Structure 1
Amino acid sequence: MNKTVQHERLEQAQRVLEIEADAILALRARLDGAFLAAIDAILACAGRLVVTGIGKSGHIGRKIAATLASTGTPAFFVHPAEAAHGDLGMITDGDVLLALSNSGESDEVIALLPALKRKDITLIAMTGRPDSTLAREADIHLDAAVEMEACPLGLAPTSSTTAALALGDALAVTLLEARSFREEDFALSHPGGSLGRRLLVHVRDLMHAGDTLPVVQSGTTLKDALLEMTRKGLGMTAVVDASANLVGIFTDGDLRRTLDKTLDLSGLAIDDVMFRQPRTISAERLASEAVKLMETHKVNGLLVVDDAGHLVGALNMHDLLQARIV
C-alpha cells in the first residue's frame, strides 16, 4: 500500500471522528427543559425504565438500558417486535418507556403506541426528527438530531447512533448523581468485576485463621518456629504472648538476615530474631486496603488483629493475587 493511500485512509478515519464529535457537541448545546423533564420523570418512576428500539437504535437502546441498570436506575430492554407479540405485558402501569428511533417513524415502535396510550406510563422519545410521529405522541421528546452521518453515503447510522448513545449516557450519569450513587453501590451490581472485588472483598474473606494460621508462643526456639513456618507455608509466623497478644513476626526475610549474622541457629529463641513491630490490619478492612498497606510499607504479608490487639489471622500478597484483588 503506497503512502498516498495510507494518508487518505487516515484522513477519512479522522473525518469520521470529527463528524461524530461535532454531533455530540451539538447535542450539548440543545440540552434543555425536555432533558430535565425526562430526568424528573425517571426519578419519580414507581416502576422500571423500559427501553425499546429497532435495528441500530435497538442496539443502542440495549446498551443504554444496561448502563442505566448498572448505575442505579432499574431498567431493561424490550424488543418492539416481541412486545407486539406478548412482551408488552412486561410494561406495567407506573413504568417509564424510553423509545429510540432516529426517524421517529419506525413501524415496530409506532405500532405499540395505541397499547401504550392505554397504560399509565410516561413515554420519552429520543429521535432525530422533532416533527415525527413518535416525537409528537411522546410525553417528552429528546432531540438527538445530527447534521450528517459520518458514512459518506449518508446511509449507515453512524453519527446518529453515536449521538443517541451519548445522550443515553448523559441520562444515566445525571441520574447517578441525582441518586447519590456511590462506588459501593456500583460494586454491588458488579460483584464479578474488578471493582466489585476491590470494594466487596474484606480481609476476613481471605485471611488464614485457625489451624492454617502460623503462630508460635514467645520463648519458642527458632528451630520450632521454622517448623511452624514450613507447615503453614505462608513464609512467616506470628509470635504471641500467653494472652494471645501479638508481640512480633518472623519472616523468610528475617531468616536470611539472621543467617547473614550467624549460621548457628541452635541456641536462638524466636524472641532474639523476630521483628517486634509487625504491620497489622483489621479483618473488617477491605482487601484492597491491605494491598495499599503492603505496597506502602514494602512488605509481602500482614497480620490481622482485633480491636484488643489479639491475633486473629494472617494475609500475604499471594492470597490477594489469587483473589484477583491485585
Structure 2
Amino acid sequence: MGVPNPSVNNPIQLKTPKTNVKELKLESKAAVIWRRYRKNKLAVVGLVVFSIMCFLAIFAPLLTPYTPDVYDILDSFLPPSKKHIMGTDSMGGDVWTRILFGARISLSVALLAMVCTVSIGIVYGAVSGYFGGWVDNIMMRIVDAIQSIPTFFLLLIVAAIITPSLWSTVLVLSAFGWTGMARIVRGEILSIKKRDYVEAARATGEKKASTIFYHVLPNAIAPITVIATLDIAANILAESSLSFLGLGIQPPTPSWGNMLTSAQELTTVMDYIWIVLFPGAFIVLTVLAVNFIGDGLRDALDPRMKE
C-alpha cells in the first residue's frame, strides 16, 4: 500500500492569514496604555472635560446668538437670565459668548506655546544629553541661569516690552518655558544612549543626528508626553495671569484672562460676581482636567505599572 497523499484526502486546505507582527505589537501596546489609563477615573473625567472645552471653542459661533465684539452699554451688569445665561459684563457683552470665544484664544495660546516649548526643549535636551562632556556642561549651565531667575517676572518684563497680542504671548511663554522639558529629555538621553541598540547604530556609521532622532528620542516619548500635557495647564494659567495684568491678550479680543480684569475692583466682585465667577470656573476646570490627564498618562505610560 502506498502512503496516502494529504492533498488528495483533504482537498480543502485552510490558509492562515498573514499578520503583521509589528502592527499587532503596536496595537497591543496602545490597548495596554488605554486600559491602564481607563483605570484612573479622574484621568477619564479630565479627558471628557477637556474634550468638552475643545468642542465649545471649535463650535462657539453655533452655541450663542451673540458675537464677542458687539456691546450694548444699556445691558451692562445684567445678572444671569434666560436672555443672558451667564449675565453681561461692564460693557454689556454677553459673558457666555465671551467665554466661548475666549476659550479659542486661551486654548490656542496654551497649545501653540506647548508645541514651541516642547520642540525647543527636545532638541536642546537631546543635543546636551547625547554629546555630554563640555557641551553638556555649558548647555546645562545656561538652563540653570534661566531657571535661577523668577520666570514670572521675566514674563512680565518681556511682555511689557513687546506689543501685546496672541503671538507675542505665545513667544513670551515659549521663550522661558522650555527649560523643564530640556532637563527631562537630557536625563532620559543620558540613560538611553549607552544601550546596545544605540551602540549598534554608532558602529554602523549612522550619523549622530539620525541616531538621536530615530533611536534615542522615540524611547523617551513617555516622559515627553506627560510633561507636554502638563505644560498646557501651566500655559493656560500663565496666559490668564498676563492678560489679567493687561500684558497678554488685549480687549476687545476675549480671553479667559482678560475677562478677569474686572476682578481688580473689589466692589465689582462683590456686586457682580458672575463677571469673574464663570471665567474663573472655566480656567479652574480646564487646568484641573489637563492635570488629571497628565497624571493618567504618567501612570499609563510607566512600564513599571502592573496591569
TM-score band (shorter)? under 0.3
Higher Rg of the two aligned structures: 1
Q: Which has the higher strand share?
A: 1
Scaled by the length of structure 2, what TM-score is found? 0.22
Higher relative contact order (CA 8 A, sep 6+): 2
